[in-house]
Structure 1
Amino acid sequence: MEIKRFLERIPGGMMVVPLLLGAIVNTVAPNALRIDGFTQALFVDAVPVLAALYLVCAGAQLNLRSFGTSVAKGVTLLTVKWFVAVIFTLLAIWFGGESGLWLGLAPLAIMAAMSNSNGAMYMAVASQYGKQDDKAAYSILVLNDGPLLTMLAFTILGFMGFVEGMFSIMPFISVLIPLLVGVVLGNLDGKMRDFFVSGSDMIIPFLAFALGMGIDLTAILEGGLSGVLLGVFTLIFTGGAAFFVFKLFKWNPIVGAAEGTTAGNAVMVPAVIAAANPAFASVEAVSTVQVAASAVTTAILLPIALSLLVKLTGAQKNTLTENVTSNDITSEKVN
Structure 2
Amino acid sequence: MKIKATLDRIPGGMMVVPLLLAALINTFAPNLLRIGNFTQALFVDGSNTLIALFLLCAGAQINVRSVGVSLGKGATLLGVKWLVAAIIGCIAYLFAGANGLFLGLAPIAIIAAMSNSNGGLYMAIVGQYGKSDDKAAYSILALNDGPFLTMVALSIFGAMGFVDGLFSVQSFISVLLPIVVGMVLGNLDHDMRDFFAKGSDMLIPFFAFALGMSIDFKSIVDGGLAGILLGLMTVFITGTAGYFVFKLIGWNPIVGASEGSTAGNAVATPAAIATANAAFLPLAKIATVQVAASTVTTAILLPLYIAFLVKRLEKKGKLAKYIGEKN
TM bucket, shorter chain:
0.5 to 0.7
Secondary structure of 1:141's counterpart equals: helix
Alignment-mate amino acid for residue 248 of structure 2: L
Displacement of 1:224 after TM fit? Answer: 2.0
Displacement of 1:263 after TM fit? Answer: 1.0
Q: Is the 8 A contact 2:11 2:300 kept in 1?
A: no
Deviations 1:144-186 (A, max 9, x none): 000000011111111422412211224445776769x9xxxxx
Q: For residues 124 and 75 of structure 2, what CA distance do their matches in structure 1 show?
A: 19
Partner of 1:104: 104
Q: Is the 8 A contact 1:118 1:261 kept in 2?
A: yes
Alignment-mate amino acid for residue 272 of structure 2: V
- 1:161 matched to 2:167? The reply is yes
Partner of 1:22: 9
Displacement of 1:322 after TM fit? Answer: 4.9
Secondary structure of 2:242's counterpart equals: helix
Q: How many residue pairs end up in the alignment?
A: 249
Secondary structure of 1:149's counterpart equals: helix
The alignment's TM-score, normalised by the length of structure 1, stands at 0.65
Partner of 1:38: none
Residue 132 to residue 68, structure 1, CA distance change in 2 (3 Å)? same
Q: For residues 108 and 183 of structure 2, what CA distance do their matches in structure 1 show?
A: 24
Structure 1 gap segments, 5+ residues each: 1-17, 32-47, 182-210, 324-330
Q: Is the 8 A contact 2:117 2:261 kept in 1?
A: yes
Alignment-mate amino acid for residue 309 of structure 2: L
Partner of 1:286: 286
- 1:226 matched to 2:226? The reply is yes
Partner of 1:268: 268
Alignment-mate amino acid for residue 166 of structure 1: V
Q: For residues 24 and 161 of structure 1, what CA distance do their matches in structure 2 show?
A: 33
Q: Is the 8 A contact 1:220 1:293 kept in 2?
A: no
Secondary structure of 1:80's counterpart equals: helix
Partner of 1:121: 121
Alignment-mate amino acid for residue 167 of structure 2: G
Q: For residues 156 and 281 of structure 1, what CA distance do their matches in structure 2 show?
A: 18
Alignment-mate amino acid for residue 132 of structure 1: S
Q: For residues 258 and 171 of structure 1, what CA distance do their matches in structure 2 show?
A: 26
Alignment-mate amino acid for residue 305 of structure 2: A
Identity in percent = 50
Deviations 1:281-305 (A, max 9, x none): 1101100000000011000000000
Partner of 1:194: none
Secondary structure of 2:175's counterpart equals: coil
Residue 259 to residue 24, structure 1, CA distance change in 2 (3 Å)? closer
Question: Where in structure 2 are the equivalents of 1:1-335 lying within 5 Å?
Answer: 22-23=9-10, 67-158=67-158, 159-162=165-168, 163=171, 164-167=173-176, 168-172=179-183, 223-314=223-314, 319-323=321-325, 331-332=326-327
Structure 2 gap segments, 5+ residues each: 19-53, 159-164, 194-203, 209-216
Alpha-carbon RMSD across the aligned residues, in angstroms, is 3.9
Please list every run of at least 4 consecutive aligned residues from structure 1 whose deviation after the TM superposition is greater than 3 angstroms.
18-21, 24-27, 170-179, 218-223, 315-323
The alignment's TM-score, normalised by the length of structure 2, stands at 0.66
